[in-house]
């Protein structure tokens, strides 16, 4: 199905008119009246418990926070050294970190 409208370019007047016509003709999404808007509340005010549970769920997503975080750095290494560590498999960056700690006496 070809894309009729794109956000990559501004709509022409004719396209804008067609979009507005489609909006007004959609029976499932009528435009809110002034009376309806007077009763409107922000989601967090209307459903505070639900908003709180959504916030908690979003907070739990992703990787757990580490106690000992690392500092991202960019370092140039010889290609053969990088290949040596990569050949050891998963966790090669951690092995470099461990070897640097040993060398530094930490």
Over the stretch 6-44, which tens digit does the pLDDT of each residue have? 777 888 999 999 988 998 898 898 888 999 999 999 999
pLDDT over 90 at 64, yes or no: no
* Same-domain pairing of 78 and 57: no
pLDDT value for 104: 95
Q: Write down the pTM of the prediction.
A: 0.40
Give CA torsion, residues 32, 34, 38, 39, to 10 deg.
Answer: -40
With respect to residue 53, please indicate whether it lies within any of the assigned structural domains. yes
CB 97 within 8 Å of CB 85: no
Is 24 inside any structural domain?
no
At which residue do the structure tokens 């922000």 appear?
Answer: 42
pLDDT score for 1: 56
Whether 101 is in a domain gets the answer yes
Overall number of domains in the chain:
2
Q: Considering the domain boundaries, does residue 67 fall inside one?
A: no
Q: Cα–Cα distance between 33 and 102 in angstroms, integer? A: 70
Q: Give residue 2's pLDDT.
A: 64
Please report the sign of the dihedral spanned by the C-alpha atoms of residue 9, residue 28, residue 40, residue 38. positive
Residue 48 lies in a domain: yes
Asked if 57 and 76 sit in the same domain, the reply is: no
**Long-range Cβ pairs for the range 26-32 (8 Å, 24+):** none
Name the 3-class secondary structure at 57: helix
Element (H, E) at 39: helix 34-39
Domain span including residue 56: 31-61
Radius of gyration over alpha carbons of the chain, in Å?
28
Q: Residue 38 falls within a domain, yes or no?
A: yes
């Amino acid at each position: 199905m070809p894309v009729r409208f794109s956000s990559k370019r501004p709509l022409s007047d004719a396209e804008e008119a067609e979009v507005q016509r489609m909006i007004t003709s959609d029976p499932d999404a009528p435009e809110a009246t002034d009376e309806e808007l007077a009763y409107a509340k922000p989601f967090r005010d209307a459903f505070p418990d639900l908003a709180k549970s959504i916030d908690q769920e979003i907070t739990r997503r992703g990787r757990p926070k580490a106690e000992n975080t690392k500092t991202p750095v960019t370092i140039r290494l010889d290609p053969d050294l990088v290949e040596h560590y990569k050949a050891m498999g998963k966790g090669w960056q951690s092995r470099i970190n461990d070897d640097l700690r040993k060398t530094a006496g930490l």
